[in-house]
Amino acid sequence: MQLNQTHDPDRRSWVDSANRPGTDFPLQNLPLGVYATRDNSAPRIGVAIGDCVLDLAATRDRGLLDVDDATANAIREPRLNALMALGQGASSRLRRAVFELLSTRNPTPARAGECLLPMSDARMQLPAAVGDFTDFYTSVHHATRAARAMRPGGELAPNFRHLPIAYHGRASSLVVSGTDCVRPSGQTGPDAAGAVYRPSAALDFEAEIACFVGPGNALGVPVALDESASQVYGLCLVNDWSARDMQRWEALPLGPFLAKSFMTSVSPWVVTLEALAPFRTAPPARAADEPAISPALTSASHAADGAIRIQLQVSLSTAAMRRQGRAAEVIARPGFADQYWTLFQMLTHHASNGCNLRPGDLISSGTVSGADVVDSGCLLERTANGTMPLRLENGESRGYLEDGDVLALRGRCEREGYAGIGFGVCEGEIVPRATDRGP
């Protein structure tokens, strides 16, 4: 991905809100999403610009968007899969066309303005129909602290430094940001009275970054590391809710199941890889005594810019905070650039056995945690499995999430000389199961 005019920090939009300092969606971002309105439930593809959404099909209908027929057909679909299948060339041409349409250099902004609606009027949907969801485990800080928290004396798995570890997740329970998280029930350990299913008492979040697959690869055809970027359509935020008491009991020997499959929240806006070009950076250097990386998982170009600088922010709002009129409290600020394995290495490893990835598949990083425990991307680490509760500013404490808690994840990219861009929000409120809510 090369820098071009769409990354020019001096360009401005005629949409005033896109020029406000700190906006997630300036002219240089242009993420794609799917929305419906109160008047029309049919999903439509839009682009976020400031505090508005641009209806892509409407701009094409008015003759304002110069794209080829394949792209014109794809933007009329109810999900982004068809656009993702066209690859980055089509995505880049669409991005440039939208950029010029929304730029102050557009001589007829009023006509394009007819295709805008306030973001507050958009009911956001899942961006793509996700056929498969894969959740990785790629932060060495998370893997180390989580192992010790889950099982006393636990240490980093011996294979962690050799290959990106992952499991196949449940695609049917992926939900868009804003969907309530219903507290799951399950078995949590040996029980003399029998196998009792009870509501999880250790409900957790996991702050993650994920990518949507673009064109995909044929069955039996691996994806080389230097080709992996061409398979990444764009990135989003993910909160992979986790029931730690269920997970600890059921995970051996086959790994996560009911503790993870009940729900995973996905942010609605997909930030394209091209928009993230200014924020590519070198992955962390490996220590001399660490295992050598497989030649399939390293290259000169990847060593130069295989990581992406994204600053995450996790905030918690309790029911008591909201009653008191208090703002949500930021409880972690982990950075994505220092993951032990990059998204490109994850994708390459995923396809290395010939597994066929398809447009719209979702590949997530696993919990993103910083070196300092205060920047843990989950409560399992931050509270040492609930034994050292997190103290909040209003006097409350949390070992794990309680009913009424709202967990919000945000991500932002900043670099001197470029416009900062963001991902919006990925949030959800914890609610009890209907059978547990009482009269």
Nearest to 411 by CA among 218, 248, 233, 238: 238
Tokens of 98: 């939208």
Helix (H) or strand (E) holding 133: strand 133-137
Q: Which residues are annotated as a binding site for substrate?
A: 137, 151, 247, 367
142 catalytic per annotation:
yes
Q: How far is CA 203 from CA 239, 283, 429, in A?
A: 12, 32, 12
Q: Are 212 and 195 in contact (CB under 8 A)?
A: no
What is the Cα–Cα distance from 372 to 374, expressed in whole angstroms?
5
Q: Which residues are annotated as part of the binding site for Ca(2+)?
A: 135, 206, 208, 240
Helices (H) and strands (E) in the chain, counts: 11, 26
User: Residue 349: which of 165, 115, 133 has the closest Cα?
Assistant: 165
Please give the structure tokens belonging to residue 417: 């000389």
Q: Residue 10 contacts by C-beta under 8 Å, 6 or more apart in sequence?
A: none
Determine if residue 414 is left, alpha or beta; phi over 0 gives left, psi from -120 to 50 gives alpha, anything else beta: beta
Mark the binding-site residues for Mg(2+), compressed into ranges. Answer: 240, 260, 264
Measured CA to CA, the distance from residue 179 to residue 136 in angstroms comes to 23
* 153-188: burial string, b at 16+ Cβ within 10 Å, e else: eeeeeeebbebbbbbebbbeebbbbeeebbbbbbbb
Catalytic pick among 142, 302, 349, 350 = 142
What whole-number distance in Å separates Cα of residue 281 and Cα of residue 277?
9
Measured between alpha carbons, how far is 57 from 297 in angstroms, rounded to an integer?
A: 40
| Distance in angstroms (rounded) separating the CA atoms of residues 364 and 387 | 28
- Cβ-based neighbours of 348, under 8 Å, separated by 6 or more: 222, 223, 224, 225, 228, 296, 297
Token digits for 157? 């798995």
Q: Residues within the annotated binding site?
A: 135, 137, 151, 206, 208, 240, 247, 260, 264, 367
Question: Dihedral angle at the C-alpha atoms of 54, 55, 58, 60, nearest 10 degrees?
Answer: 70
Backbone φ/ψ region at 323: left (φ over 0), alpha (ψ -120 to 50), beta = alpha
Q: Are 85 and 216 in contact (CB under 8 A)?
A: yes
> In the structure encoding, which two tokens stand for residue 267, read together?
């942010």
Residue positions annotated with a catalytic role:
142
